[in-house]
Amino acid sequence: MNAMTETGQKGFAAQIVSAIAWRSGSQMIAQLIMWAATFFVIRILDPKDYGLFAMTQSVLVFLSLLNGQEFTGALVRAPELTKTLIRQVFGVLLLMNGGIAVAQVLLAPLAAEYFHTPIVAQLLVVQAALYLATPFVSLPSSLLSRELNYKVQAKVNLGSALAGAATSLGCALAGFGVWTLVAAPMAAIWTRAIGMTIAARVLVLPSFRLKGSGAIFAFGGAMLLSSLLWLIQTQSDVIIGGRSLDAHNLGLYAEALFLAQIVTSKFVPPLNDVAFSAYARMQADRETTGRAFEKSVRLIMFGALPFYAGLALVAWPFVDVVLGPKWDEAAPIVRLLAVAMPFLTMQVLFAPATTALGHPRLQVWSAGAGAAIMPLSFLIGVEWGPVGMAWSWVIGAPLHLAITMALGVRVIGTSARGIGRAVLPAVLATGGMVVVVMAAEPMAAHMASLPALALLVTLGMASYGAMVLLVARPIIGEFVGLIKARRGVAI
């Protein structure tokens, strides 16, 4: 390997770590801002408000599938980027988002009738304006991601988080009820659309002539199909539960799922954004991509596994302290969902790798498996209420992960054994933490919620740190390596 190649590798490693630092760091700060507002608002609003909002989200998320986001991935993977290609993608985004905005307005009365709740129609009509901002977020984001430039995006995302949080707090205090949950994301996405367009300095005229764009539609079409199947998997719980459960119980389940999916839905996607761009840049070297994938699994599970195990252990005091006594019924749901989420976290790491390496069909097959497994599980589980819905995740998520691994490991350049070795340090350290916290639970049971939570969390963090030093010390070196790479030193 010549010096020039080594220098290039060092620079690329530093660029990736810098991208992760900006993307994940800004996401973490933005989430802290939003959570501060969210948990305050949760204590003001009723579970019924969240149940109503969840009903609208089942429609909103389904139509959002058609917002054209998948087509922007073609801009990231394109060997050569032209102005014509950018204009064509922008035209597709405008057409698709304008169309689904109109479709949502027309479908709103039908959705209200399905859920037997008239206000659902009003909520959906207003939320149709969200789609109109999407083209002005997606296009500049994809162009910046192609260059692994997440610094600009980070600043805009923080601004939009502040706008959303301020709107959420203001509306909740003003007594807007469920409309608070509509206004906050509206303020956030429009702030992000304006800020991203200005910051990225990309505002082109759209082109509706699609000649020569076959590659875009081939890639985007495969991703669209996988997104549709993924949507069936992730939204079937609300669609099934929304017709069988009342708004109160659906609200309990929806907020329990929100808590349990904090890592998977809030912190993993930013990492996957960077991973997709990075895998696309090194797609010709399967050995390198395999090692990179194993390392990403190891480091992500190093944080995710103890979080979910800890959440399962402290579910009751956590819910009581963070959400308030009126949400105590959600605690057993949170505990079960926390058990299932490590499997989902690992499963979603495969998508950016297989698609960036030119195999979107594998993601389609994986999403298809989830679209078959999870709705069937929910149809059975809903008979036992929201707790039964949580059990559906416990049973379905590991099975879905097994199928995804079987499809993807060879393409990525790794193996089930390699992934097992990557996860083992986190499993051992987390196991030690679980034993310590469970031993302290009888003592915490006689305490009030806040001191019990403080005791269990403190013991959990201390025991996990001790176990890492005992059985997983090399991971500390990997994190040190990442910090050095951030400064331009090879990892």
More confident residue, 451 or 326: 451
Cα separation, 300 vs 279, in Å, equals: 17
b (16+ CB within 10 A) / e for 349-386 = bbbbbbbbbebbebbbbbbbbbbbbbbebbebbbeebb
One domain for residues 187 and 250: no
Cα separation, 391 vs 414, in Å, equals: 31
One domain for residues 293 and 383: yes
**30-34, 173-177, 255-259: segment of lowest average pLDDT:** 30-34
In this prediction, residues 265-294 reach a mean pLDDT of 66
Asked, for residue 251, whether it belongs to a domain, the answer is yes
Asked, for residue 344, whether it belongs to a domain, the answer is yes
One domain for residues 244 and 385: yes
One domain for residues 203 and 276: no
The count of structural domains within the chain is 2
Domain limits for position 281:
239-491
Asked, for residue 430, whether it belongs to a domain, the answer is yes
Asked, for residue 365, whether it belongs to a domain, the answer is yes
Q: Do the Cβ atoms of 196 and 211 come closer than 8 Å?
A: no
Number of residues that make up the chain: 491
State yes or no: pLDDT of 154 exceeds 60: yes
Q: Three-state SS for 472? A: coil
Q: What is the band of 4 on the pLDDT scale with cuts at 50, 70, 90?
A: very low
Cα separation, 424 vs 298, in Å, equals: 8
Asked, for residue 267, whether it belongs to a domain, the answer is yes
One domain for residues 201 and 312: no
Q: What is the band of 271 on the pLDDT scale with cuts at 50, 70, 90?
A: low
One domain for residues 168 and 262: no
**Which pLDDT does position 102 carry in this prediction?**
95
One domain for residues 110 and 148: yes
Q: Do the Cβ atoms of 159 and 153 come closer than 8 Å?
A: no
One domain for residues 358 and 244: yes
Tokens of 411: 């393409």
**pLDDT tens digits, 478-489:** 666 555 544 443
In this prediction, residues 262-274 reach a mean pLDDT of 68
Q: For the CA atoms of the chain, what is the radius of gyration?
A: 23
**pLDDT tens digits, 161-215:** 899 889 999 999 998 888 999 999 999 999 989 888 887 777 777 777 766 666 6
**Which pLDDT does position 7 carry in this prediction?**
46
Asked, for residue 313, whether it belongs to a domain, the answer is yes
More confident residue, 461 or 11: 461
One domain for residues 487 and 346: yes
**pLDDT tens digits, 375-430:** 999 999 999 999 999 999 999 999 999 999 998 888 888 888 999 998 998 999 99
Cα separation, 68 vs 137, in Å, equals: 12
Q: Which residue is associated with the tokens 């800890």?
A: 310
Q: Do the Cβ atoms of 445 and 452 come closer than 8 Å?
A: yes
One domain for residues 392 and 292: yes
pTM of model > 0.85: no
Most confident stretch, 62-66, 82-86, 299-303, 466-470: 466-470
